[in-house]
A and B are shown apart, each in its own frame.
Chain A
Amino acid sequence: MSAEIESAGVKRRNFLKVLGATSAVVPLVGCDSDGIQRLIPYVVSPDQTVPGVSSYYASVCRECATGCGIIAETRDGRTTKLEGNPEHPVNKGALCGRGQSAVQGLYNPDRFRTPMIRQNGQLVATTWDRALQLFSQKLGETRSKGEAGKAVFVNQHEVGSFPGFLDQWLAAFGMPAHLSYDAEADLPAITAHKQVYGAAWPMFDFGKASIIVSFSADFLDNWGMSVPQQLAWADARGQLGQAPRFVYIGPRRSLTGLNADEWIAAKAGSELAIAQFLGGKISADAAATAAGVKKEQLEALAKDLKGKSNSLLLAGGFGPNATELCIAVAELNKAMGNVGNTVRPSEAASGFDRITGGADMRDLADKMKAGAVSLFMVRGANPAYTTPKSVGFADAMGKAGFKVSFSSFPDETTALCDLILPDHHALEQWGDADAGNGMVAIQQPTMDAVFDTKATTDVLIAAAQGDPTTAARYKEKDFRSWLLARFPGGAQAFAKALAKGVTSGKPAVSGPAGRTLGATSKATDGGKGDFSLVVYPSPLLGDGRGANKPWLQELPDPVSKICWQSWVEIHPLTARRMGVERGDHLTVTTAAGSVTAPAWPYLGVREDTVAIALGQGHTAYGRYAKGIGVNALDAIAGEEKSGALALGGLKASVSKAGGHSDLVTTEGSARQHGRGIARAIPVAELANLEKPSFRGEPMPKEHEAEGKKEETHGGKVGVAPIVGAFGGEEQVAGNPDQRFGRGLRSPVAADAQGELADSSAKDKGMYSQSHPTGMAKRRWAMTVDLARCTGCSACVTACYAENNIPTVGAPWQGRTLNPMGGYDDRPGANILKGREMSWLRLERYFEGGEDGSSDFEVRFTPMMCQHCGNAPCEPVCPVYATYHAPDGLNVQVYNRCVGTRYCSNNCPYKVRYFNWFGFGEPDRRQYAFPEPMNWQLNPDVTVRGKGVMEKCTFCVQRIREAESRAALEHRPLEGDEFTTACASACPSRAITFGDAADDAWTVSRIAANDARSYHVFEELNTYTAVVYLQRVNHTGAAVATVAKAGEH
């Protein structure tokens, strides 16, 4: 890579262009035998590129403001998969579902393909020359009229040099600094942190704390920086016996709340009273009355906190008094001596400064209405959608002067603009970002532009250069050169840093950029009703920006497990009282307006509370977002003190709306019915667990001989099962000297490898000795640590991305309803029929709370093919489409499958998925990869045809790739050399994959040593390769006694 950067010759982007053109004629979809496919070979192959071998480029994720480091896998000029960058100090190799989905933004079929210009009220395609000319002309006009001061630039909040660069550019044109807008930003917390800690976002040390109390701070959802927080949280909980107990206080149990050991169901806005009680300012009685909870619960919490040396209190949310709450909680941290201990302002994260929120957007709208905005520029942000109706942003835009959008996607805001100068996607352009820890991350293009777009940075430079008054300020021809000129260490350091993605130093322009309007918040008007409405940013769709990515629409919400839909969360007892069934439409009316959506009875909201997620209800924003669900902001008006929209605790009335929609959910039964799928133990019992008998000692030789002797009969040496620790019934695959025991046995593979064969026979086992796997003595296995798993579902999206899993829930993918050809066009129609294809699903089971009480527990379990050693699916397949590979994998051969679906019937885990339609056939209504979405498809994985069964393969393509690589390098596979897509993405590091027959792999050590390990449905003798590690519950009473007892 470095060679390219330095050489003046072929630039990577140039050869990528050539490459892109070449591969455009190579249909990636399907092994279609009908069409003739043309492959045009390179005459001169570009350097460092081998066709069919991936290149990896380090870059920066821009899906939210965190700015995680990513590594983009690029094959033949197309980016196919994003992984976390292990070198990046923020996310350390993990990547959330939103980050994974960035490629679906890159290849979104609804992206702007060219610049657009408004003619006769319509946006029409134009050329860059014309568009840039118009832009320059408008810039000139604004200045010549003396209206430059009235120009406004709204940018999606991001970290790095761009905001500073943008401000410099604006200044050059005499325009005020930009507004860095983030509708999801936790302004109350940021305000409080600044005030109390002196840092916008200090470092929170979850691992050091022995108790964590969250006051509506959803640190596993959207609060702060979710991926690094999740890593820290999982590491903290991974300490098991020493792990912190976690208490969640708030009106609704979010994903974060579901990970808590105890939920104090306080009324929205009353968290402050509890904080005041903990600070000794008010009595327990007063706090309990205000919060609507039991006094004992609060007293126990206070006692708990007193008994702990290290506590960590977090506050957030968007309640009516969120800022006061956050300040009170920060003060509590201070008073308890946590600052400098579990809260470290000295290690604060950057990028939380000068974010504007709802109040500023209202102010901006008012300015526009007053005609005080001459030139409106917007990039990334979508204020027309993310502001409440009452703000009237869309109407206001009509009164602004000229409106320019640099956004990549058509959305509610761009629909009102006069000129669209579509930006490159983040994966197509240069940039940088502060990575924390004194590091800077480089954002580099991972491929050539998909469409005729231009990086806004380059557009701005070009515009400045085209103007004689500003030209002198911009000597570099483009943003890359601009960055390079300012990079610490110069071009050489830059080239070096590109490989890793991060290096020590600071972004070219660091320090806070942008401005805030400092608008005064407008409190929410009273409103009527017995209910309290809580609106929250969706953990998947965020403030709505994820809604155009089918992976995020299809991924069930981690809490409700509903997708492609909006829903109203209502307590089951309340629902019963109102005569509301699951799916009945509810109208929630506040002073600002009303929202109607189907009801989802949920134990995790207070009886007097209803909750709705943000993110749906788009009127533009592409085919996947338009017309799905409702926008909860319709019921919102006003902001709380910090300027963020007041989303929580609005007075609302709730009524039945008459309609009914089936909930698009992947949940069957939300309870385990005693089946022991997701298991947990109280921390007190951790020490009593016995070490698993999973892996026995190396087998004594005499036993082996004995076993053989016993089985010798009739003059023949027969099958020789080993008698010994395992009762002599099973032979296992793996190193013959090293038995791995109960649960990781693989009798079928052992048979395949000839271990059960007649030793005098010529043929050993059922497979040829020259089998492509080399008859490897392996047992690919996986451990899933439920103590670490938070249920975030990033693994699911990673699986979709890696394995070409089609999304099936778009409204046009439904089945035909009658012979006349009418089809089921409800969003999620196929999912209503259970046809989702998620090879890996995240099950969410409730424990307790049958009486409707808030004292219930939730257990998350990722469920994928268990790669049984004795798989029920294999014997029933009439055509050997599913069979056992010698290395213990349960293999599905798509080409051989005739689709009897018997394998699925016989699978106790129900992890097999059938292709009901031609999801991979471009001429079908159900086609899941409309051009250019198909560019994302992983070339190593088949796109399955209609009528075949599919399932998790343990990322067999990665296994074989690693094996081939090792073989080419004449070495054996090394321990932990590679991992599956789910394990690689997991921000909790809950999944470990590897060879259980080889001690070099972490997975074998975990499976052998962790006392919490168990198999799901072990009683069925399936000998699964997936080992689950029980979740550990830190119940209140137990904490004090067993704080240090969990040694094992």
Chain B
Amino acid sequence: MATMAEPVGPMRPNIASADVQLPAIKTFEQVDEEIANTLKPTKAWFLGLMVAVGCMLLGASAWTFQVYAGLGNAGYVPPVMWGVYIITFVFWVGIGHAGTLISAILYLFRAGFRTTIYRASEAMTVFAVMTAGLFPIIHIGRPWKFFWLIPYPNWRLLWPNFKSPLVWDVFAISTYLTISTTFLYIGLIPDIAVIRDREKNPTRKFILSILSLGWKNTDREWRHFTRAYLFLAAFSTPLVLSVHSVVSFDFAMALTPGWHATIFPPYFVAGAIFSGFAMVWTILIPIRKWWKLEHYVTLNHLDATAKVVLFTSLVVGCAYLVEFWVAWYSGVKPEQDYFFNRVFGEWWWAAWIMLICNMVLPLSLFSQKLRRNTAWLFILSIFINIGMWFERFVIVVPSLSHEFEPWQWTTYVPSWIDMSFLVGSFGWFFMWFLLFIKQLPVMAIIEVKEIVPARRAAAGQGGHH
């Protein structure tokens, strides 16, 4: 059984500040037992997985059909050339932001409330980016040619167009997926060693041995591990800001009214963190309840995340209002028409769903009572997920449907196939996540051990610095 060696050097930023200590955890064995408990399959887990795989298969068959029969079966009404696919793409990329923010940025900022939530968030990030990455391929007219967006040496000496934000997307998303996967894996190594040591099945033990890279819990290993982790945290940090900025360039670089705005990168990043934290709630609140991990993810932890959500909600709300002001101030008629149309025109309902879910409902988090009410947080997280999906809807669809050229104004109705993809994307995401929580610890065992009172007692001192 892996035990904790003394921390190496003064650089460990894993601190349990007063509000996020875990008084209910007494021993390291308790940590191992309770967290590894999630690895045991239950009936509910199988049921959940079946639902997820079913949804995923729905999306997969819809895709097969679409590739054969043509994109025309989706709901596009030109010139609304982007629809549910791109909306869902941006939605999932956004979800993918909270994980790295929590695991990397909060790590560097020594925010104690990250310790118990970061592993789940990070896994969520990887799977969300994996989900998002499907959509640009699903959405293009000739998906079998998607690799033309990648610069690869070819006989024709053809390169992608580096001026195109879509090519930037390819780089941004692939980089982000690479880094966040690496970061997740590196952080997992000591934990894999923990479950390797507990594993009885020789095949699984063998696989876990390989995955844990033969972790032996030596000081040298710990020194290298912590350095690598710190380095990767620093490495991932700019990505949190850059990736969604690049995604926002898909819109901001175009001259379409409603898209052509310099505010997009910060506004998108704030929105991404906002939606990501909401998704963390959607995932963690059931996990802590079902596996009885309330004493790991305490109300204090949730309270802290709620403050982040409240803050990003205010940023996003501010951006919404600034957009209206800029449209008015610009004096550009198509821009003004679009923003008027956004709230009072054909798409008023979508815009109001967005404004209420993202701007109004999170104001409830000013109340500490509600910040500590898990039921409310869960409900709110669903609203925020819906609101953030509609935010992208409001950006994509009303803009394209009411552009410069009134003769080409149109409307948009998603079709059954669009919806199959939306459902399929959730199926795909949760399929991976459910598989993950059964195979690997959903909370960082080693980091929890760092802050449990047992360790502090053993070390005979309080937290470092």
A841 touches B407 (CB 8 A): yes
Query: Which listed residue (B70, B158, B166) contacts A947, Cβ 8 A?
Result: B70
B82 touches A901 (CB 8 A): yes
Given A816-B73, A879-B148, A1020-B255, A947 contacting B142 (CB threshold 8 A):
yes
B77 touches A902 (CB 8 A): no
> Is A877 interfacial (CB 8 A cutoff)?
yes
Given A817-B416, A898-B140, A833 contacting B161 (CB threshold 8 A):
no
Q: Which residues does chain A contribute within 8 Å of B159, judged by CB atoms?
A: 880
Q: Which residues does chain A contribute within 8 Å of B167, judged by CB atoms?
A: 878
Interface string of B322-336 (1 = CB under 8 A from A): 000000000001100
Interface string of A992-1025 (1 = CB under 8 A from B): 0000000000000000000000000100100000
> Is A223 interfacial (CB 8 A cutoff)?
no
> Is A926 interfacial (CB 8 A cutoff)?
yes
Minimum C-beta distance from A308 to chain B (A): 36
Query: Which listed residue (A677, A876, A877, A948) contacts B405, Cβ 8 A?
Result: A677
Given A668-B408, A673-B337, A878-B160, A926 contacting B70 (CB threshold 8 A):
yes
> Is B45 interfacial (CB 8 A cutoff)?
no
Chain B residue, CB-CB nearest to A876: B164
> Is A671 interfacial (CB 8 A cutoff)?
yes
Query: Which listed residue (A673, A815, A880, A913) contacts B158, Cβ 8 A?
Result: A880
Query: Which listed residue (A673, A872, A880, A897) contacts B406, Cβ 8 A?
Result: A673
Interface size class of B (residues with CB under 8 A): 35 or more
Interface string of B308-324 (1 = CB under 8 A from A): 00000000000000000
Chain B residue, CB-CB nearest to A669: B406
A872 touches B254 (CB 8 A): yes
Q: List residues 881-915 of chain A with CB under 8 A from any CB of chain B.
A: 896-902, 904-910, 912-915
Contact residues of A: prevailing secondary structure: loop
A898 touches B146 (CB 8 A): yes
Most buried by A among B69, B72, B77: B72
> Is B220 interfacial (CB 8 A cutoff)?
no
B140 touches A876 (CB 8 A): no
Q: List residues 226-271 of chain B with CB under 8 A from any CB of chain A.
A: 250, 253-256
Q: Which residues does chain B contribute within 8 Å of A875, judged by CB atoms?
A: 161, 163-164, 253
Chain A residue, CB-CB nearest to B137: A898
A816 touches B141 (CB 8 A): no
Given A669-B409, A876-B254, A908 contacting B164 (CB threshold 8 A):
no
Given A667-B407, A668-B409, A845-B407, A914 contacting B146 (CB threshold 8 A):
no
Chain B residue, CB-CB nearest to A816: B73
> Is A772 interfacial (CB 8 A cutoff)?
no
Q: Which residues does chain A contribute within 8 Å of B81, judged by CB atoms?
A: 901-902, 904-905, 914
Given A876-B166, A900-B139, A915-B141, A675 contacting B415 (CB threshold 8 A):
no
Q: Which residues does chain A contribute within 8 Å of B253, judged by CB atoms?
A: 875-876
B78 touches A816 (CB 8 A): no
Q: List residues 88-119 of chain B with CB under 8 A from any CB of chain A.
A: none
Q: Which residues does chain B contribute within 8 Å of A872, judged by CB atoms?
A: 254-255
Most buried by B among A669, A863, A872, A1020: A669
Q: Which residues does chain A contribute within 8 Å of B82, judged by CB atoms?
A: 901, 905
A906 touches B255 (CB 8 A): yes
> Is B13 interfacial (CB 8 A cutoff)?
no
Chain A residue, CB-CB nearest to B148: A879
A946 touches B405 (CB 8 A): no
B141 touches A899 (CB 8 A): yes
Bound-state Cα–Cα, A835 to B407, Å: 14
> Is B145 interfacial (CB 8 A cutoff)?
yes
Bound-state Cα–Cα, A879 to B403, Å: 25
Q: List residues 912-935 of chain A with CB under 8 A from any CB of chain B.
A: 912-918, 924, 926
> Is A972 interfacial (CB 8 A cutoff)?
no
Most buried by B among A672, A817, A947: A947
Q: List residues 944-997 of chain A with CB under 8 A from any CB of chain B.
A: 945-949
> Is B287 interfacial (CB 8 A cutoff)?
no
> Is B48 interfacial (CB 8 A cutoff)?
no
B404 touches A908 (CB 8 A): yes
> Is A724 interfacial (CB 8 A cutoff)?
no
Q: Which residues does chain A contribute within 8 Å of B334, judged by CB atoms?
A: 675
Query: Which listed residue (A816, A912, A949) contacts B69, Cβ 8 A?
Result: A816
Q: Which residues does chain B contribute within 8 Å of A918, judged by CB atoms?
A: 70
> Is B211 interfacial (CB 8 A cutoff)?
no
Q: Which residues does chain B contribute within 8 Å of A843, judged by CB atoms?
A: 407
Most buried by A among B160, B404, B408, B420: B408
Q: Which residues does chain A contribute within 8 Å of B277, judged by CB atoms?
A: none
> Is B2 interfacial (CB 8 A cutoff)?
no
6 further A-B contacts with Cβ under 8 Å, apart from A668-B409, A947-B141, are A672-B406, A673-B406, A819-B62, A879-B148, A900-B140, A910-B403
| Between-chain CB contacts (< 8 Å), 25 pairs | A668-B405, A668-B406, A675-B334, A817-B416, A833-B77, A834-B80, A876-B165, A878-B166, A878-B167, A897-B142, A899-B71, A899-B141, A899-B142, A900-B141, A900-B166, A901-B141, A902-B81, A904-B79, A904-B81, A908-B255, A910-B78, A910-B407, A917-B70, A926-B70, A926-B72
**Interface residues, chain B, CB within 8 Å of chain A?**
62, 65, 69-73, 76-82, 136, 139-142, 145-146, 148-149, 158-161, 163-167, 170, 250, 253-256, 333-334, 337, 400, 403-410, 415-417, 420
Task: Name the 4 nearest CB pairs between A and B, nearest first.
Answer: A899-B141, A947-B141, A916-B72, A668-B409
